[in-house]
Every structure is written in C-alpha cells, then in structure tokens.
Amino acid sequence: MDPKLAEVSQLFERFKAACAREDVDTCCNVLSKLKVLLTGFSSLPPLFEDTPNAIHELTLARDIYEHAVLLSVKIGDQDAFERDFFQLKPYYTDASSRLPPSSQEYMILGLNLLRLLVQNRIAEFHTELELLSSTALENPCIKHAVELEQSFMEGAYNRVLSAKQTVPCKTYDYFMDLLAKTVRDEIAGCSEKAYGYLSVSDARQMLLFSSDNELLQYIKEEQPEWEIKTGQVIFQKAKESASCKEIPSLQLINQTLSYARELERIV
Amino acid sequence: MAATMVSSAGALLAMLNESHPQLKQHALYNLNKFVDQFWPEISTSVPLIESLYEDEEFDRHQRQLAALVVSKVFCYLGDLNDSLSYALGAGSLLMSLRILIMFILFLMCLNFDHLRSVVDIFKFAGASLVCLTFLFLFLTSAKAIDEYASLKAKATESNAEAANVDPRLEAIVERMLDKCIMDGKHQQAMGIAIECRRLDKLEEAITRSDNVHGTLSYCINVSHAFVSRREYRCEVLHLLVNVYQKLPYPDYLSICQCLMFLDEPEGVASILEKLLRSENKDDVLLAFQIAFDLVENEHQAFLLNVRDRLSVPKSQSSEMVQPKSSDPDPAQNNSSTASEDVQMTEGTSASIAIVQETDPNDAIYAERLTKIKGILSGETSIQLTLQFLYSHNKSDLLILKTIKQSVEMRNSVCHSATIYANAIMHAGTTVDTFLRENLDWLSRATNWAKFSATAGLGVIHRGHLQQGRSLMRPYLPQGGSGGGGSPYSEGGALYALGLIHANHGKGIKQFLRDSLRSTNVERFIYDSAVAGEAAGISMGLLMVGSASEKASEMLTYAHETQHEKIIRGLALGIALTVYGREEEADTLIEQMTRDQDPILRYGGMYALALAYRGTANNKAIRQLLHFAVSDVSDDVRRTAVLALGFVLYSEPEQTPRIVSLLSESYNPHVRYGAALAVGISCAGTGLSEAISLLEPLTSDVVDFVRQGALIAMAMVMVQMNEAGDSRVGTFRRQLEKIILDKHEDTMSKMGAILASGILDAGGRNVTIRLLSKTKHDKVTAVVGLAVFSQFWYWYPLIYFISLSFSPTAFIGLNYDLKVPKFEFLSNAKPSLFEYPKPTTVPTTTSAVKLPTAVLSTSAKAKARAKKEAEQKANAEKAAGAESSSAATNTGKEKSSSEKDADSMQVDSQPEKKAGPEPSFEILTNPARVVPAQEKFIKFMEDSRYAPVKFVPSGFVLLRDLQPTEPEVLSLTDAPSSTVSPAGDSATGQQGSASAMAVDEEPQPPQPFEYTS
C-alpha cells in the first residue's frame, strides 16, 4: 500500500480512537494534520486525477470528512461544520459515480439542511433541496428536515418544537435545540411587526417561555431595543419603508432611444 | 471513464477558512486553477482572498497568488482598474500567461482604434482561440500594457522623460515582450512593442524571428495601418529600413517603399544605382521594378528628386547642360515638330554621350540609366498604359448614341454632360470617334460648353505626351494674333493640355505659362473671378503636400478678396497644400474650420480630408462628423460628409457603416455628401454594403441627391459586370430609363449620363483607385478626385476624375521595357470578369430599319438551312433503310448501329448548348485584370518568363529564362501617330472600325438548322 495512504489511514485510526475517548483536543489536532495530508493526494477534489489508488483514497478522504462533520456537531462549532461539509460535498456530488454510496450521506445532508434552517438561511436551504434526487427526498433524515421547514414556514412553531421527539438520529439533537431558539427569534420578529405592545404574560406565552424571568433574560440579551414598562413589552415598530412605485424602465428606454435616433436624423 | 469534474468551488472556498496555512495555500493554488470556471462563485469570497493578500504574516508567494486570483475575478467582473492594481500585486506570477493572443481582444473592448489589429491577430492566432478561457489573464496584462503605452506616448509627445512610469508596469511589459519573443510570437511582440514605443524591443523581435522578411513586411503594414502619429510612424520606418539594410539579402522593393514614405530620395537613388551597376541582369530588372512601383504612387516631387540624384556617368555631365540651356526656345516657337518633349531631347543627348564613351561598363550603365530615368519620369508607364488602353478599348458607342439622341438639344447641361460622359468613357484611349462623327452636333456648344468640349479632348488623349500639343494646336490660342477660336475653346484647350500632361508636364509647363501670359488679358475680360478661382486651385495643385508658407499667404488673401469664387478657389488650394501632412496641418485646419466665412470652413473640410487622406484617423472622423451635423452652412455640411470618403478610403468597408445614418438625414445636402463619400471611398470596390446604401438614394426625392447617388454608384460599380453582382445590370437599366425619360429632372439626368460615362470609363479598362498596390496613396488620384468633387460649382472640373483612373492591366515587360508575349492563368470563370456585353437594344429610330434588314438575309439563310436539313434527312432515311435491310442479317450489327446513333445524339447535344463554361482562362500579356480578379491570377511555372515580383496587376518586370531565343513581342502598335489634328472632317483612322460597326447594317444572324 502507498506509504502516504498508510500514514493517513493510521492517523485516521488514531483520530477515531480519540473520538471514541471523547478527547476533543486530540481529535482537532489529528484532524488538522489529516486535512493537510489529504491535500497531497491529486485524486481528490478539485483535481480528481485518475491515480491507481484513486477509489481508495477518495473513500478514505470521504470518511475523514464525514467524521470531521460529526465532530463539529459534537463540539457545537457551526463554522467548522460548514467548512467541513463543503469540503465533503464534492465526494457526494462529483465523485458519486465512482464511489459506493456512503451510509452516512443522507444523515449528513439532513444535518446540513437542519443547520441552514437553524441559521435561518432559507434560500440556501431550498437550493440544497433542489440539488437532491427524489429518492433522497424519501429518506427519513431528509424528510424530517423538509417537514420541519414546512412547519416553520407555516408558522406552526409548536409542531417544530414537538418534532424534537421524533429525530431520526441523535446527532440531530444539537441542531434541534438551536432550532428552538431560531423559532423564538422568528416569533419575536413577527410580534414586533404585528403588535405595538404586548403584556408580559402574553409575550411569554407567545415566545414559548415557561417563566417571566426567562423572558426578561431573553429580551435583555437578544432584543435590547424592546422596552418593558408597566408590565407591557413595547416594540419599536420598524420604520415603514417608503413605498416605491415601479419605474416603467423599458418604456422609458425605448422612448429615449427613439428620440436619439430621430434627433440624429434631424441634424 | 470520463474524468470527474468539480462542479463547485465551494469546497475550496471553505478550505480558505481553515486555520492551517497549508490548507489555505492549497485552496488558493487550486482556486487560481479553477477561477475561469468558478469566478462567479469566487466573487462572493473576494474580500476573504483580499484579506489573505493583505495578511503580512502570509508567505510572499501566497500573497501574490491571492492577488492574482482577485485580479482575475475583478477582470471577469469588468472592473479593469481594480484588476490591474491586483495584477501588479501579483508580480512575477503574471508571467505564466497565455495573454498574448488575447492581448488584442482587450484592446477591442477598450479602444476602438485597434479593431483592425484585433482582427489581424485573431486571424493569426487561429487555433489558439481555444484559449478564450484565458481571457482574464490577457485582459489584465493588456490593461497594463495599455496604461504603459499611454504613459509612454504622453511622455514622448511632451518630450519628457518617461520617469513617471510605474517600474512595476514597465517590468510587466518587458517580461511580456520577452515572453512573446521567446515563444516565437513575434507578431504579437511587435504589436506590443510598437504600441508601447519600445523600438529596441521591436528591433529585437524582428531580428530574432525566423522569417525576417515576412515579419518586416508585416511590420510595415502594421505601422501604416495602426500607427496614427506620423512622426512616430517615421521613426518606426527608419528602424525598419535599418534592419532591412543589415540583412544579407535585402528586400529592396520594400526598402524603397519605406524610403519613399520617409521622403529620402538619396537612399532610393543609391539603391537604384547599386542595382543598375550590378553585373547581374536580374538586379537591373529589380531596379526597373522598383522604379515602376515608385511611379505608381505618383509622388512626383520625390520621383524627380530620385532622378536628379542618380549619378551621371563621367564626361556626360558636361554635355547634359547643353540641351537644357536650349529649353526655353521650343516653348517660344510652338509651331513645329521641334517642340518635342524635353525628356526626348535629353534622351537623345544621353545616347550621343554613350557613343562617345569608351568604357563599356559605363556605357551599359548609361543605357540603363536612360531607361530608368524614363521610367521614373513616368513616361514609360504612361506610354504603355496608353498603348494598352488603346488596344483594349471596349467602349460602347451605342450607349453614347442613345444618350445623344435622347438628350434635348436645347438643354445645354445634358448636352455637355454627354460630352463629359464621352470624354470619361474614352479617357486615355485616344479614341475620339464620337466627337469626330458628331461635329455638327458638337458645334452647337457655346461658351463654356465649348470650353468643356475642347477640354474633353484632353481627357481622351490623356498621356499622349508626344502628340498632345499638336493635337490641340487648332484650338490653342494662336500666338499674338488672337483671331483664332473663341476664348472659351482656347481656355478649354489649355485645360486639356494640362490634363494630358498631368503630373508629368515638365516640358509643357513653360508653354502653358507663356500662353497664359498672352491670353490672360482676354480671360480676365471675360471673367476675372473665374481666373481667380482657377489660380487658387492651380496654386494648390502646384504645391500639393508641400505645406508651404504660401498657405497662410493664401489665407490672408482669401480674407481680403470679396469674390466668393476666388475665396473658394483659394480655400481648395490651401487644402491641397496640406495634403498628407496629418498632424502638421492641424493648426491650419483649426484656423480654417473656425473661420466665419463658410467658404473657408468648407475649405477646412477639404483640408481635413486631404491631410488625413486614407488614414481613417479617428480624430479627423470625429471632427468631420461633428461639422456634418452642426455647421450652419449646407455647403460645409455636405463637404464634411463627403470628406469622410477621403479619410476612409483605405478602409472602404467602414464607410457605409459610418455614413449610414447620415444618408437618412432630412438634409438633402448631407444625403448628397453621404452618397459621394461612399462613392469616393468605395470607388472601384463594388462593395455590396455600399451598393445597398446607395440604392435607395438613387430614387431620392431631391434631384441633386439622385445625381450624386448615381455618380457614386457608378464609381463603386466601375468595371463590374452582371456576373459579379446582379445589381449592376439593374443599375444600367435604371440609368437608361432615366436618360430616356422625358420628364426626368435635368440634374438627375445629368447624373445618369455622367454615371454611364464613369461606369464604362477608359474603354472599360480603368478603375478608380486611390491606393497603390503597396497601400500607399496615389497623390494624383486623390487630388484628382478631390477637385472632381468640386464639380458642384463648376462642371468642367468633372474632368479631374480622369486623374484618378488607373488601368486595370497586367503589363509584363522585359529587359528592354518591351512587352513580350507571355501567358498566365486566371483561375476563375471568364464570365465573372469579362467585359459587359455591348448594348444591342436598338433605339426607336433604328428599330424600324432593323427588321427589314434582318428579314431578307435571314429568309435566305432559312431557306438554305431548310434545304440542307431536308437533304440530310433524306440521306439519313436512305442510310436507315440500308442499315435496316442489313440488320436482318445479324442482330449484332443492328445493335452496334443503334449504339452509333446513340453516341451521335450524345455528341450533338453539347454542340447545341455551347459546352459548360471553363473554370479558368488564359490571359495574354498585356491583359485586363480587374481588381476582383487579382486573387485568381496564377503564373504558369513552365512559362518562358518569370515575374520579378509576384503581383497580379500593374507593371511587372519579367525575367527571361531563355534569353537566347528570339522574343515575340506583343503590343507594338502605338496609337497611330498620323492622326492629323487639323482634319476636322476626316475620320480618325484608328477609331473607324469600331465606329463602323455601329453604323453598319446589322450582321445577319448566325446560320442555324431546323430540326423538324
């Protein structure tokens, strides 16, 4: 076996062992080394050169990145998740024709969807969704994320929160917790638009807090512009955006062009 | 298995965010590779990469890499300034680029000036176009070059040191140049070097290329086409001449062309002398060829200088003085044949000198010198042209006859238009049959019509140097007596003489001056203003391109005088003096175009046109377009548009595009100008777009626009036949219709008459050509056309168009400057380029006559044919009977006879259809080769002669490969010199045959057979 490949495999074993031990620091260190080593393989994206060990190397690299993604979930580092996921993605998309499918694929894709939902990046969520095949959409991991997004969009926030009980995989928990917060932010945003003010108890109910203290804490941390006066939460109504009329641009352009032409003809 | 491709740069961009520097490097490196594909994705991450570039801790190489990636992305985004600044940051990495092919693409985006070079280089790049993906690279570096070039240009223009050029920029440009040279991309290297004014690099590029000659000629083309500043172009050409002279086998033809542009007669003279003194006959032929090429450019002053600088063999010089001193004499007594041309006497004296000379080498040299002087003086070519035009004259007298009959007698405009048309049609052919046959008709001309009729003779006899004066004698003022013809015809005769000797009139000058002195008393009585105008123009003609101080003198006088004719003459004269001076003329042009007097502004337009003739200079075009739409005077606007034609004649394809909007203007003057501009710049090209643009104008609502369009169309279509473009036929029919239509306006009728004259100009053997084959401008032609375009004010100026005619001929010459028999191929269907068919449609009067004539002969023929057919049928029947009786014996025989019959039928078919047209044609020296035909000309390899220079037309010296064998000469018949000029009633012998053909009874039709 290629010595470089052997080195990577060995290191990868160490990484897995560290993971099992839940030794996060070692994990991160080893992972970083692994990634650097991987840049030495020309068979990996973006070059995809056809080397003799290409399949093996690709599989191994995919494995490493899958673990990296899961590790980032474990340590709750969303940036790392994004980085690792993007580096993993070419293995699923571009190299799919050459590699046997990975058992983790749908789970990780689902995680990514969830992450986008949590970060409230709905547009990107849908972009990702469009890229999936119809069989992938049938997968419970993906389906879960899709349903969540639907509830989220409908405003059925209670359904979103109750969905935590039906997660297909325990790694999803991290994001489900985060989702609750996203939902709350969303509700807060809507209330701000919808109401001038709300009583503290209504607000608490609305924002799905169990106690007033939690509410106050939340307002202090997340919504500093809200005011609390005499048991009322007063929202600063967003300034009404100036209504803009549509400019008949095409018509104007046509007109101007014809003037110009006429003018040139006159002179 | 198909290679796996990446579909997104997301992974790489994500990797940029990794903390480990090695991962970042890896990502950057790969991004740089894929940036062409994923720049839209990368563009969102540009700030991130920028921050990498600015990160001080990062490795220097990596930072440059980051800069490169950013630069490329900016380039794709179209932000060239940012792109350039990052490209500079990328430093040496920019080296690895395939920019060079792309260089020009960028210029195309930024700078319209270079459109042509773009196209050229693309042609050259050809296969490399795949590299389009590398656009960005090229864009950035080109931007660098551009900036560098403009800085350098500024620096040189202000004579300042180029110290303020960014050294980084300089480094990039130099690197690029070296790279080009190393890769063998010499043409690109030269382009960049010229653009950046790095003559040192230019020289290096040329000398290091594998095909130095090819590169040099490319470079000459480039410098003419794209270097817009005259001074700088001279510098480049100087350099080229130097390089040329260092070569072991210098290309003297090209050197001399360069030297001519640089106006260095000494250089040309020394080269010619060297060649003439050579032992090798080929060198002498080459010298002759050079001389012919120089003559073609019609740069008279230069030629004279060259001639004077050719050293005279010893002991001859003293005798040369002798004949010269007697020069004034013949001019004084202009009565006898003694008034031969001065050149002739010179020639004879030279030959006398040879006899006395003892040294054989010197004698040979002297003999050659005489020849080359003859060539340089233009006489040889004029004479040969004359012979060619005379012998190949195919003008169609029937057209003229039709015109004459349809034109009303009273209408003097059309009457003189017919005379003009005749003169143009026969320009240079010496065939004046039409005039001689219609003397009574001609005599109806009065005053100015008489003037132009007489002057027309000058056009017809153009180039007939020896006979010129004797031909015109009856019309010329008789010394002192004053009792001769009317002053008009005398004036016309003088004008005619001027035309005959145009640009070669050394001998005639003195005579003209004298007679002018004796007649100007009379002339001033009639119209002093006209004389003033003429004086202005002629001053200009004399000083063409001299940019002398006289111009400002003329300008002052123009301000003082009241008479607009004089002002106009002077304005045009001034314009002529700045001919070809480009930037040098700017002050004068500025002065004129700012003047209050519209006539002077009008002159300013001409000055612009002539100073920037054929340069397609953007500044001039812009200025002209500005005047075309903003001036208050119609005359100025018309002229401004018209002047565009002169500026653009080197790029005829451009003109229709530029004036297309103007041709739709509401102002008829502007439309007229647009028509003529197209006519001038596309003259003789038959350009399809030009024709499309002119077509609607020929049926304009305003009469003079129609006139202009008709004339312009004729200029464009000169020498085309229907096989070339079907619209030529349509146009001819349209002309005929206009001429025959009684209700048509005089103006457009005149246009149509002139147009039919131009269409068949010079016996259908000349075209209008403003550029010589070496792409230099032909001074006389341009000036002629410029003065021609003045006919708006004075019709006789129409004759000036004859100066722009150049014969479309291949004339091969041997060592003795004779025309040997020589054949070559035209690799195209003959019908494409043949003469238009002579008109056969009879006019209404002769139509009555025709049928009777036809009937009698054809009836006989028919009868005879019928009889024959019957006889034949009988014979066949008999034969058939025989064979059938024989056939009963053997079936074999029968079948064979059937076969025979079959083959007979097959044989007879092609006879009826007159065979398919051959795909080539063999032409015999001297031959008519129209411009469009030139690309089909091939020389046969087994021919006795080999051309010195492979050109498809013009004068070509032929190397005799079998010098021992006797030569067969063709074209020895000079136009008969026995024509008695006084014989008004006598028909000129030479033209009688063609004239007879018209008047004769129609020929009986060809015998044919009935097949019943």
The tens digit of pLDDT for each residue in B881-891 reads 444 444 444 44
Pick the most confident of A233-237, B206-210, B417-421.
B417-421
Q: Are B714 and B424 a contacting pair, CB within 8 Å? A: no
pLDDT, residue B506, reads 46
Closest to B146 (Cα-Cα) out of B92, B79, B206, B80? B80
Instruction: Kindly report the average pLDDT of chain B as a whole number.
Output: 68
Instruction: Tell me how close the Cα of B577 comes to any Cα of chain A, in angstroms.
Output: 31
Q: Would you place residue B338 in the very low, low, confident or very high pLDDT band (cuts 50, 70, 90)?
A: very low
Domain boundary among B559, B587, B612: B612
- Most B CBs within 10 Å, among A28, A30, A33, A47, to test the B interface: A47
Alpha carbon distances (Å) from B507 to B337, B479, B504: 14, 18, 8
Q: What are the φ and ψ backbone dihedral angles of A211, each rounded to 5 degrees?
A: -140, 160
Assess if residue B848 is contained within a domain.
no
Does residue B115 have a pLDDT over 70?
Answer: no
Q: Would you place residue A210 in the very low, low, confident or very high pLDDT band (cuts 50, 70, 90)?
A: confident
- Are residues B184 and B253 located together in one domain of the fold? yes
For range B189-211, the mean pLDDT: 73
Q: CA-CA distance, A222 to A207, in Å (whole number)?
A: 13
Does residue B133 have a pLDDT over 80?
Answer: no
Kindly list the residues from chain B whose CB atom is less than 8 angstroms away from the CB atom of residue A98: 1, 4
Kindly list the residues from chain B whose CB atom is less than 8 angstroms away from the CB atom of residue A93: 7-8
CB contact under 8 A, B8 and A98: no
A96: closest chain B residue by CA: B4
pLDDT, residue B702, reads 87
ipTM over 0.85: no
E strands, B660-781, in order: 766-768
Kindly list the residues from chain A whose CB atom is less than 8 angstroms away from the CB atom of residue B7: 90, 93-94
Kindly list the residues from chain A whose CB atom is less than 8 angstroms away from the CB atom of residue B664: 265
CB contact under 8 A, B3 and A50: yes
Total domains, chain B: 3
For range A83-111, the mean pLDDT: 86
- Are residues B725 and B604 located together in one domain of the fold? no
Q: Are B536 and B568 a contacting pair, CB within 8 Å? A: yes
A218-222, B445-449, B487-491, B683-687: segment of lowest average pLDDT? B487-491
Q: Which residues of A touch B (CB under 8 A)?
A: 32, 35-36, 39, 45-48, 50, 79, 82-87, 89-90, 93-95, 97-98, 264-267
pLDDT, residue A213, reads 86
Cβ contacts below 8 Å, chain A against chain B, sum to: 70
Q: Beta strand pairing status for B954-960 and B809-813? A: parallel
Domain boundary among B555, B582, B612: B612
User: Which pLDDT tens digit goes with each residue over B834-871?
Assistant: 777 766 654 443 333 344 444 445 555 555 655 665 56
Does residue A187 have a pLDDT over 50?
Answer: yes
Q: CA-CA distance, B126 to B142, in Å (whole number)?
A: 19
Kindly list the residues from chain B whose CB atom is less than 8 angstroms away from the CB atom of residue A39: 22-23, 26
CATH number for the domain spanning B676: value is 1.25.10.10
- Are residues B576 and B667 located together in one domain of the fold? no
Give the side-chain half-sphere CA count within 13 A for B360. Answer: 1
- Most A CBs within 10 Å, among B4, B41, B62, to test the A interface: B4
- Are residues B624 and B772 located together in one domain of the fold? yes
A66-75, B163-172, B622-631: segment of lowest average pLDDT? B163-172
B31: closest chain A residue by CA: A46
| More confident site: B974 or B991 | B974
pLDDT, residue B466, reads 64
Domain boundary among B240, B267, B294: B267
Count other C-beta atoms under 10 Å from residue B357's C-beta. Answer: 19
Assess if residue B284 is contained within a domain.
no
Does residue B349 have a pLDDT over 70?
Answer: no
| More confident site: B446 or B676 | B676
| More confident site: B832 or B767 | B767
- Are residues B51 and B178 located together in one domain of the fold? yes
Does residue B395 have a pLDDT over 70?
Answer: yes
User: Which pLDDT tens digit goes with each residue over B599-616?
Assistant: 888 888 888 888 888 777
User: Which pLDDT tens digit goes with each residue over B587-598?
Assistant: 888 888 888 888
pLDDT, residue B201, reads 75
Q: Would you place residue B67 in the very low, low, confident or very high pLDDT band (cuts 50, 70, 90)?
A: confident
Closest to B525 (Cα-Cα) out of B480, B488, B562? B488
Kindly list the residues from chain B whose CB atom is less than 8 angstroms away from the CB atom of residue A85: 14
CB contact under 8 A, B6 and A94: yes
A260: closest chain B residue by CA: B661
CB contact under 8 A, A87 and B4: no
Count other C-beta atoms under 10 Å from residue B220's C-beta. Answer: 21
Kindly list the residues from chain A whose CB atom is less than 8 angstroms away from the CB atom of residue B9: 46
Q: Which residues of B touch A (CB under 8 A)?
A: 1, 3-15, 17-20, 22-23, 26, 30, 33-34, 629-630, 661, 664-666
Kindly list the residues from chain A whose CB atom is less than 8 angstroms away from the CB atom of residue B11: 45-46, 86-87, 89-90
Q: Would you place residue A245 in the very low, low, confident or very high pLDDT band (cuts 50, 70, 90)?
A: low
CB contact under 8 A, B14 and A82: yes
Q: Find how far residue B785's CA is from the centre of its chain.
A: 12
CB contact under 8 A, B20 and A35: yes
Assess if residue B337 is contained within a domain.
no
Pick the most confident of B164-168, B516-520, B671-675.
B671-675
B461-475, B703-717, B811-825: segment of lowest average pLDDT? B461-475
| More confident site: B593 or B963 | B593
Does residue A146 have a pLDDT over 80?
Answer: yes
Query: Where are the alpha helices (H) located in B186-280, listed in sequence order?
Result: 186-195, 199-208, 212-226, 230-246, 252-262, 265-276
Q: Would you place residue B333 in the very low, low, confident or very high pLDDT band (cuts 50, 70, 90)?
A: very low
For range B512-525, the mean pLDDT: 44
User: Which pLDDT tens digit goes with each residue over B523-533?
Assistant: 333 344 555 56
In chain B, DSSP finds a helix count (H) and a strand count (E) of 48, 9
- Are residues B591 and B665 located together in one domain of the fold? no
Q: Are B960 and B815 a contacting pair, CB within 8 Å? A: yes
Pick the most confident of A81-85, A186-190, B190-194.
A81-85
Does residue B554 have a pLDDT over 50?
Answer: yes
Kindly list the residues from chain B whose CB atom is less than 8 angstroms away from the CB atom of residue A90: 6-8, 11
Does residue A101 have a pLDDT over 50?
Answer: yes
- Are residues B220 and B91 located together in one domain of the fold? yes
Q: Would you place residue B184 in the very low, low, confident or very high pLDDT band (cuts 50, 70, 90)?
A: low
User: Which pLDDT tens digit goes with each residue over B781-804?
Assistant: 888 888 888 888 878 778 778 778
A88: closest chain B residue by CA: B11
The beta-carbon neighbor of B20 closest among A36, A90, A267 is A36
- Are residues B658 and B763 located together in one domain of the fold? yes
Does residue B912 have a pLDDT over 80?
Answer: no
- Are residues B54 and B85 located together in one domain of the fold? yes
Kindly list the residues from chain B whose CB atom is less than 8 angstroms away from the CB atom of residue A87: 11, 14-15
Kindly list the residues from chain B whose CB atom is less than 8 angstroms away from the CB atom of residue A69: none
| More confident site: B429 or B633 | B633
Does residue A226 have a pLDDT over 60?
Answer: yes
Q: Are A236 and A226 a contacting pair, CB within 8 Å? A: yes
In which domain, by residue range, is B697 found?
Answer: 616-807
Assess if residue B218 is contained within a domain.
yes
Q: Would you place residue B120 in the very low, low, confident or very high pLDDT band (cuts 50, 70, 90)?
A: very low
Q: How many residues does chain B have?
A: 1012
B57-71, B637-651, B992-1006: segment of lowest average pLDDT? B992-1006
**Which secondary structure element, helix H or strand E, spans residue B685, and what is its range?**
none
Kindly list the residues from chain A whose CB atom is less than 8 angstroms away from the CB atom of residue B668: none
Does residue B900 have a pLDDT over 50?
Answer: no
pLDDT, residue B977, reads 39
The beta-carbon neighbor of B23 closest among A35, A50, A79 is A35
- Are residues B145 and B213 located together in one domain of the fold? yes
CB contact under 8 A, B661 and A264: yes
- Are residues B716 and B789 located together in one domain of the fold? yes
Closest to A30 (Cα-Cα) out of A64, A63, A61? A64
Secondary structure class of B154 (helix, strand, coil): helix
Q: End-to-end distance of chain B based on CA atoms, in angstroms?
A: 75
Please state, for a pLDDT cut of 90, what percent of chain B lies above it: 0
User: Which pLDDT tens digit goes with each residue over A159-184?
Assistant: 887 887 788 888 888 888 888 888 88
| More confident site: A112 or B173 | A112
CB contact under 8 A, B17 and A39: no
CB contact under 8 A, B8 and A95: no
Q: CA-CA distance, B547 to B271, in Å (whole number)?
A: 28
- Are residues B702 and B594 located together in one domain of the fold? no
Does residue B367 have a pLDDT over 50?
Answer: yes
The beta-carbon neighbor of A46 closest among B6, B20, B630 is B6
Assess if residue B586 is contained within a domain.
yes
Q: CA-CA distance, B459 to B473, in Å (whole number)?
A: 15
Count other C-beta atoms under 10 Å from residue B620's C-beta. Answer: 24
User: Which pLDDT tens digit goes with each residue over A16-59?
Assistant: 888 888 888 888 888 888 888 888 888 888 788 888 888 888 88
Kindly list the residues from chain B whose CB atom is less than 8 angstroms away from the CB atom of residue A46: 6, 9, 11-12, 30, 33-34
The beta-carbon neighbor of B5 closest among A83, A94, A265 is A94
Q: In which region does residue A247 sit, left (phi positive, over 0), alpha (psi from -120 to 50) or beta (all else)?
A: beta
Assess if residue B871 is contained within a domain.
no
A228-242, B64-78, B503-517, B900-914: segment of lowest average pLDDT? B900-914
Non-local (6+) Cβ contacts of B788 within 8 A are B797, B798, B799, B800, B801, B803, B804
pLDDT, residue B292, reads 80
Does residue A68 have a pLDDT over 80?
Answer: yes
- Residue type at B79 in one-letter notation: D
The beta-carbon neighbor of B4 closest among A48, A82, A87 is A48
Assess if residue B385 is contained within a domain.
no
For range B918-936, the mean pLDDT: 76
Non-local (6+) Cβ contacts of B593 within 8 A are B601, B604, B605, B608, B623, B627
Kindly list the residues from chain A whose CB atom is less than 8 angstroms away from the CB atom of residue B673: none
**DSSP per-residue codes, B570-588:** HHHHHHHHTTT-GGGGHHH
pLDDT, residue B1010, reads 56
For range B150-167, the mean pLDDT: 53
B20: closest chain A residue by CA: A32
Does residue B640 have a pLDDT over 80?
Answer: yes
Does residue B447 have a pLDDT over 80?
Answer: no
A48: closest chain B residue by CA: B4
| More confident site: B816 or A137 | A137
Locate A138 and state its tokens. Answer: 């049938």
Assess if residue B124 is contained within a domain.
no
CB contact under 8 A, A32 and B4: no
- Most B CBs within 10 Å, among A29, A34, A36, to test the B interface: A36
Q: Are B145 and B135 a contacting pair, CB within 8 Å? A: no
pLDDT, residue B477, reads 55
SS3 for B50-72 is: HHHHHCCCCCHHHHHHHHHHHHH
pLDDT, residue B797, reads 79
For range A49-74, the mean pLDDT: 87
B22: closest chain A residue by CA: A36
Query: Where are the alpha helices (H) located in chain A, listed in sequence order?
Result: 3-20, 24-38, 54-74, 78-93, 105-118, 122-130, 134-138, 140-154, 157-162, 173-194, 200-206, 212-222, 249-266
Instruction: Kindly report the average pLDDT of chain A as a whole number.
Output: 84
Give the side-chain half-sphere CA count within 13 A for A163. Answer: 28
Please state, for a pLDDT cut of 70, what percent of chain B lies above it: 60
pLDDT, residue B322, reads 37
Kindly list the residues from chain A whose CB atom is less than 8 angstroms away from the CB atom of residue B26: 39
The beta-carbon neighbor of A45 closest among B6, B19, B22 is B6
pLDDT, residue B165, reads 53
